[in-house]
Chain A
Amino acid sequence: MKKILSTLSLAAAIVFSASAQSDMLLYNFNAISQSLHTNPAMPQQTKVWVGLPAISGLSTHYHNSGFSAVDIFEANTDINANLRNVTAGLDASSQLAVNQTVDLLGIGFSLKKGFVSLGATQHINLTMDIPYQLFQVMFSENNNSITQLDLSTFDLEISNRTAFYLGYQHRFLNEKLTLGVRANYLIGQQHAYIERSNISLTNDSTYTINGRSDILVRSAGASAFEADAIEPMNIAFADNTGFSFNFGAHYQLSDKWSFSASVLDIGSITYNDYTRSYVSDSEFEFRGIEADLAANDFGDAVDRAVDSLEAGFNFQEVDGDSYSRSLMPRIFAAANYHINEKHTFGALYHSRIWNGEAFHDFGVNYQGRLSRTFQFTAGYSMINGTAHNIGAGFDLKLGAFQLYLMSDNIFGMVDYGGLQTTNFRFGINLTFYGKKEKKKKQEEAKTNTPSQTNNESNNFINYF
Chain B
Amino acid sequence: MKKYLLRVSLLGLILVSCSKELDFDMVDDIAINPSGTIPLATLTLNLGDLVNDIDSTIVVDPDNSLRIYYRQDSVFTYSASDILTIPDQDPFDLVVSEAQPFFRVGVALGTIAGAQLGAATFSSGTIGMEIVASDSAMSDIRFELTFYNATLNGQTYSDTFSLEALQRNLLDSSIINGLTFDFSDGGTRVNYLDIGIKVLDADTAALPSNATYLCGVALKNLGLEVASGFFGQRVQAAPSGNFNFDINGIANFAGGLYLTNPNLTLITKSTVGLPIRITTDFDGQNSEGTLVSLNAPPFNILSSPSPGVVQESRFSLNANNSQITNFLANIPQTILYAGNISLNPDGNVGPPNFIASSSNVVIDFEVSVPMEMRMEDMRLDQTIEDFSISAGGNEDFFEKLTLYFNSENGLPLDLNLRVVLQDSVTADSIGGFEIGLLNAAPIDNNGRVVAPAIADNQVVFDQTLIRALLRSGSLRFIASVNSTNNGQDVVKMYTDYDLVIRAAIQANSNIKVNSL
Contacts and interface: CB of A to CB of B under 8 A. Distances in A.
Contact of B49 (A139, A286, A295): A295
B349 interface: no
Given A415-B16, A418-B20, A294 B52 contact: yes
A436 to B, nearest CB: 20
A288 B49 contact: no
A80 B502 CA distance: 35
A79 B27 contact: yes
B148 to A, nearest CB: 71
B95 interface: no
B244 interface: no
Contacts of A69: 22
Interface in B27-42: 27, 29-42
A145 interface: yes
A73 B499 CA distance: 54
Contacts, number: 128
B499 A145 contact: no
Interface string A47-75: 00000000000000000000001101111
Given A76-B23, A79-B30, A291 B39 contact: no
A227 interface: no
A206 B50 CA distance: 29
Given A80-B29, A206-B404, A292-B45, A286 B39 contact: yes
Contacts of B27: 73, 79
B22 A70 contact: yes
A93 interface: no
A22 B20 CA distance: 26
A289 B40 contact: yes
A137 B49 contact: no
Contact of A209 (B29, B32, B38): B38
B12 interface: yes
Contact of B406 (A146, A206, A295): A206
Interface residues on B, range: 35 or more
B20 A207 contact: no
Contact of B35 (A73, A146, A206, A392): A146
Interface in A184-217: 203, 206-209
Given A144-B34, A146-B34, A206-B406, A291 B22 contact: no
B499 A293 contact: yes
A290 B41 contact: yes
Interface in A62-103: 69-70, 72-77, 79-80, 83
Contact of A292 (B38, B44, B406, B503): B44
B42 A290 contact: yes
Nearest to B33: A144
A70 B37 contact: no
B504 A206 contact: yes
B22 A288 contact: no
Interface centre among B20, B42, B506 (most CB of A within 10 A): B20
A144 B42 contact: no
Interface centre among B15, B18, B37 (most CB of A within 10 A): B37
Contacts of A138: 32-34
Interface in A131-182: 137-139, 141, 144-147
Interface string B484-507: 000000000000000100111010
Interface centre among B19, B49, B499, B506 (most CB of A within 10 A): B19
Sort A-B residue pairs by CB-CB distance and give the 4 closest, nearest first.
Answer: A294-B49, A288-B39, A415-B19, A75-B23
10 contacts: A73-B26, A145-B36, A145-B37, A147-B36, A288-B39, A288-B42, A293-B44, A294-B52, A414-B16, A414-B19
Interface of B: 8, 12, 15-16, 18-24, 26-27, 29-47, 49-50, 52-53, 404, 406, 499, 502-504, 506
Interface of A: 69-70, 72-77, 79-80, 83, 137-139, 141, 144-147, 203, 206-209, 286-295, 301, 392, 411, 414-415, 417-418
Given A207-B404, A288-B41, 20 more contacts: A70-B19, A70-B20, A138-B32, A139-B33, A141-B33, A145-B34, A145-B37, A146-B36, A206-B406, A209-B38, A290-B43, A291-B42, A292-B44, A292-B45, A294-B46, A294-B49, A294-B50, A301-B41, A414-B12, A415-B18
